[in-house]
A and B are shown apart, each in its own frame.
Chain A
């Protein structure tokens, strides 16, 4: 058995991938595209929180909210000015993919110029550890888990019990029918992009005190949450959660035993799942 610290690390990683994958799935189910820039919103969110705490001296929850609002707004701008223009009739899915991939370079270069490419570390915001007998957990990591639970519950409530959530679910099911019933699909896309990017920013913010911050920190979580939603099934929220949990533990617990082979296992798993069951573990089969 790997030590308990590894299991907790797996849980933390699952939580972060879960928050990001949730946003990606939401965006995919409404806009029908994979947002490849998602990891860079995570990175920008971490930077906003870093400057919020280190420069402005705000508490962590406040700076996380600020970063969610700022980065969510940025995501809305990206949706309005880039994605919307490239998803009209006549454009294949390729153009929007290439545009969002190019935005990765744009945001990484911009933040490298603005903030410098050196690793930044944030002093632990929540010091102290919780002693559990044979092992201990830092409060910071507990905060990550609690944050993810809050986000998941909040998203559940928003999606199931509010008018906006109803509109989002309707637009995901059938955009044409939804717009016939008076739902502006364009507005729903904007809202969903804002929510998705805001979630990514908050995930980056809660991780800022745990890991180092640099302009390239978004690449791995982006690929991982992408693979998570593929394992779970593109377009399925349950699938995103389960896929993130599988990936988080694969990356920590199995990596503890197998080192680099765990990466091979990960990619082979993705290939096999896509070949055998392209809709993923939880995706509804659709034509």
Chain B
């Protein structure tokens, strides 16, 4: 038997590997604060978008994902600023609190599905914002809470100082995104991921097969909540402030758009592409001198992506198509006409 290399599988993966390698090396190539913080923040959004996409897998779409970021951010901000706890326990508590809130809310709210669920999460998002704004003793109201950067980690030979430069944040974000991606990828490939698909595609059939819909919906919602909480905590500490207007309904909508533009077919690649491209695009157009043009271009791009891409597959599908159509020049399978 002849050993052979499956080029069609290996070459794209090598390219992806090279890209990841380049992304890891970005701080070596540039120390430009703006570039670094752009990539860092799009990483944060990517985690939130992954959470949204996971919930979407079960057929529910949540318009309140930014609320979980706000809960995570406020948890760690309150713990570090008001109760002067160290950073790392607060960071993990932020994820846990956000996950517990998602579990409690999800187990009540997920019973009504579809549009109703979206509206309820929209209302929850607004409630979180109002509470953050009005609960003055804890959240300092509309002024927002100041957060401190993570403490300096002293290693033999050198030390990681979060206050001095964004580079440590960059690698922290990479680790966070990598962990989230691995977890979500495993979930997507496991039996549970298949179940998610099943209950989205046909809830009635799934229920009659003995799958408890609520259980899987709540699991997806809770996992999304935990990681979104981590992202929120990171966001608050990176920007060194968290205020009620930073994470509201419009940010939830932004998360939703990133997910759809990136593509909901994959749990990891789609959100990463969507968050990176839309966030970078938003930053780029906000530098244009024409007033308000960023809203116009943002809306146009999202509408065009949704309309033009076939069956709304999102940008992630283009990668696959690029290799199949442009590089390998594969032909679609067609029935051959019988010639007389």
Contact = CB atoms under 8 A, between A and B. Distances in A.
B259 to A, nearest CB: 9
Contacts of A116: 291
Contacts of A103: 299, 303
Contact of B119 (A82, A98, A230): A230
Interface stretch (A141-149, A197-205, A259-267): A259-267
Contacts of A267: 123-124, 126-127, 130
A125 interface: no
A99 B130 contact: no
B297 A278 contact: no
A98 B115 contact: no
A116 B293 CA distance: 11
A209 to B, nearest CB: 25
B257 A102 contact: yes
Contacts of B134: 260
B292 A113 contact: yes
Nearest to A92: B312
Interface in B78-131: 108-109, 111-112, 114-116, 118-120, 123-124, 126-127, 130-131
B256 interface: yes
A95 B296 contact: no
A271 B123 contact: yes
A223 B127 CA distance: 14
A270 B123 contact: yes
A82 B61 contact: no
B300 interface: yes
Interface string B210-231: 0000000000000000000000
A108 interface: yes
B280 interface: no
B127 A109 contact: no
A128 interface: no
Nearest to A264: B130
A194 B264 CA distance: 32
B132 to A, nearest CB: 12
Interface in A105-123: 105-110, 112-113, 116-117
B311 interface: yes
B293 A109 contact: yes
B162 interface: no
B312 A91 contact: yes
Contact of B257 (A98, A113, A270, A271): A98
Contacts, number: 122
Interface in B277-303: 290-300, 302-303
B311 A106 contact: no
Nearest to A89: B311
A106 B257 CA distance: 13
B56 interface: yes
Given A91-B311, A95-B260, A113-B292, A102 B126 contact: no
Contact of A109 (B56, B111, B131, B298): B298
A106 B112 contact: no
Interface string A251-287: 0000000001001100110110011001000000000
Contact of B299 (A104, A113, A270): A104
B306 interface: yes
Given A102-B299, A275-B111, 5 more contacts: A82-B303, A95-B312, A99-B302, A104-B299, A264-B127
30 contacts: A82-B303, A91-B311, A95-B306, A98-B257, A98-B260, A99-B303, A99-B306, A101-B257, A103-B299, A103-B303, A105-B302, A106-B298, A109-B293, A109-B295, A109-B298, A109-B299, A110-B296, A112-B292, A226-B119, A227-B123, A230-B119, A234-B115, A260-B130, A263-B130, A267-B123, A267-B124, A271-B124, A275-B120, A278-B112, A278-B116
